[in-house]
Amino acid sequence: GIQVEQSPPDLILQEGANSTLRCNFSDSVNNLQWFHQNPWGQLINLFYIPSGTKQNGRLSATTVATERYSLLYISSSQTTDSGVYFCAVVGGYQKVTFGIGTKLQVIP
């Protein structure tokens, strides 16, 4: 099956700092999503981004499908950004494979 690697595994940021999270995948995919799992365990859709670039407020994402990676940018981080960020890719039959996540802690 498809392998998904996320980096870094852990990240501590000062409030206001910017960061880039990376997701590499081992094979061509039909789609890719970024999720934020907040400290209460809820999964929040951030981006559905099989290719190209999207922006939503302080967050943006870029997927380069031909090179099998995606990047999630967080600018001017806030404490509410804390949690785990997952990259999930879809191969055949819509089976979703999740990376192990990047655990982000934003400190005031």
- Interaction site with another protein (CB under 8 A): 30-31, 33, 35, 41-43, 45, 48, 50, 86, 88, 90, 93-101
* β-strands 19-25, 69-74 pairing: antiparallel
Asked if residues 70 and 63 have their Cβ atoms less than 8 Å apart, the reply is: yes
12 versus 100: smaller Cβ distance to another protein: 100
How far, in Å, CA of 53 to CA of 55, rounded? 7
CB of 96 to another protein, least distance (A): 6
Token pair in block for residue 79 = 């404490």
Token pair in block for residue 106 = 């934003």
CB of 86 to another protein, least distance (A): 6
2 versus 71: smaller Cβ distance to another protein: 2
41 versus 57: smaller Cβ distance to another protein: 41
